[in-house]
Copies of this chain bind each other. A is one copy, B any other.
Amino acid sequence: MVERRERARRTTMNDVARVAGVSSASVSYALTGAPGVSDELRERIRAIANELGYRPSLVAQGLKTGRARSIGLLLADISNPFYTEIAASAVAAAGDEGYEVLISHVGLGQDTDGDDDGEREAARLAAVARAHIDRYTSGLMLTSLLASDRPLLEELRRTHVPVVQLYRRVPGEPSDWVGIDDHAAAADVMNHLIATGRRHIVVLGGQRSSYASTARATGFVDTLRAAGLQPANPDQGLWAGISRRSGYERAHELFAGDTRIDAVACGNDLIALGVLDACRDAGRAVPDDVAVTGIDDMSFASVGPLQLTTVTVPREQIGRRGVQLLLRRIDGNSGPPVEEVLPHRLRVRDTA
């Protein structure tokens, strides 16, 4: 497939220079605000550029400077509203600083078993990251990290591409991160479940190779153990893909095999919504027969009759802080990695 159609020629810096009767260098100085031209000339050049509808080519600029003045935001799955809410705030924050946020949908994390080793997923994430790097992105915001992404992170570090990890992270990775205390968040949920009398509690943790997921799963299980309980499902059954479908399918099986289950603690809201679907199908009343909980508190976790009990997280702040941290790195700050733990809060609604 070859691109044929020719584009109308853009107005270039040379065009402006010619009309103004100056060199392109002066135009560059005048427009970027660099010293080197008189105020008077600067004004004249600005006026002409404006009149000609001149807009600098970010591509030429990028080739010259090595930076595109854009931030790449890589979302595992753009149809997970939790991440798009983070994205919206990141866009706003970056815009204030003159950066464009270019969002990519990586298409990950939806496997039903949540149990793959992440090889294929890592390859796909790396490919998308490179697509941004080859366009000279100024920096990358990553949300979909698995343990298997460590080589990619190392590659990014070697090539000095600024990176911030949002929410999820690869442990031990020396780049900035902003998120919540996953273990504590899960513990809060589990304590609530136990306090309200649940005893046959299933844990549906998320992806086995995701640090956030394992931290949550551990938080669930530790809390159960501390109360002298066990997950109602076997250890190998703790994992699920990060998707509604996965939550649905896992719950569906589980319900078929065990009628005593009285609660399902899910690693995130999306999984919990799938469990709710399964409850409806199986005719299990929520919360009377079975309690269901999530983590994230994405906006669609509470709509009209749907009122999921979950953990609320400062999404707006995650996006905003993430951009701030990244911009510091883009500006050359090379201090030690920042790990910012934001507050979370249990939100008891109608499902538990």
Contacts and interface: CB of A to CB of B under 8 A. Distances in A.
A58 B102 CA distance: 16
A192 interface: no
Interface in A272-320: 273, 276-277, 279-280, 286, 299-300, 303-306
Given A79-B88, A331-B2, A102 B105 contact: no
Given A98-B1, A303-B273, A331-B2, A91 B103 contact: no
B331 A304 contact: no
A4 B65 CA distance: 10
A268 interface: no
Contact of A299 (B3, B79, B88, B102): B79
A41 interface: no
Interface residues of A, number: 73
A78 B70 contact: no
B304 A66 contact: no
A174 interface: no
A6 B92 contact: no
A101 interface: yes
A97 B1 contact: yes
Interface stretch (A13-21, A130-138, A195-203): A130-138
Given A56-B134, A105-B103, A286 B306 contact: no
Interface in A1-41: 1-8, 10
Contacts of A286: 304-305
Contacts of A55: 130, 134
Q: Which has the most chain B C-beta neighbours within 10 Å: A8, A85, A134?
A: A134
A284 to B, nearest CB: 11
Contacts of A105: 84, 87-88, 91, 101, 103
A237 interface: no
Q: Which has the most chain B C-beta neighbours within 10 Å: A7, A55, A88, A128?
A: A7
Contacts of A159: 7-8, 10
A241 to B, nearest CB: 15
23 contacts: A3-B69, A3-B331, A3-B332, A5-B329, A5-B332, A6-B66, A7-B161, A8-B160, A55-B134, A58-B135, A59-B134, A59-B135, A78-B78, A78-B88, A88-B107, A91-B104, A91-B105, A100-B128, A244-B303, A273-B303, A276-B304, A304-B306, A305-B306
Interface of A: 1-8, 10, 55-60, 62-63, 65-70, 77-79, 81, 84-85, 87-88, 91-92, 97-98, 100-105, 107, 128, 130-131, 134-136, 138, 158-162, 244, 273, 276-277, 279-280, 286, 299-300, 303-306, 327, 329-332, 334
